[in-house]
Amino acid sequence: MDTWVFGLVCNAIIAVVHMLIAVAVIVPLATSRELRTNPLGAATAAIFFTCSVHKADRALTTAIGSATKMITDLLGSEYFANTILRSAPAVTSAGPVDLRRSDSAEQRPGEPRGGRSTT
């Protein structure tokens, strides 16, 4: 088993368990109408709910990243990069980059459009 599969399964299991704990805290509070009067119980349920959402996000991110790698391996990286990745603008730490322009890959923050100056 690959390590990413192990991580995906573990994150999914932890997400389900955290959600079950959140439900186990919320249901008794809601049935006894103490959800609004018991802030500690509500906060505990909220913490487990957010932990569940975080772990589910990690599992989905792992699955999507792995699926992207598998598609790239199947179709060939050149085909994947030219057709799928270049069809939408990307966002980098320097801001949005239009991957359809050939000179935008050479442009760095603070440099004029068209890439680095060779003079």
pLDDT digits (tens, 9 = 90+) for 13-55: 999 999 999 999 999 999 999 989 999 999 999 999 999 999 9
pLDDT of residue 65: 79
Q: Check: CB of residue 71 under 8 Å from CB of residue 78.
A: no
The model's pTM is: 0.58
The whole-angstrom separation of Cα 63 and Cα 22 is 24
**66 secondary structure, DSSP code:** H
pLDDT of residue 19: 97
Q: Which residue has the higher pLDDT, 63 or 113?
A: 63
Q: Which residue has the higher pLDDT, 99 or 39?
A: 39
The whole-angstrom separation of Cα 76 and Cα 68 is 11
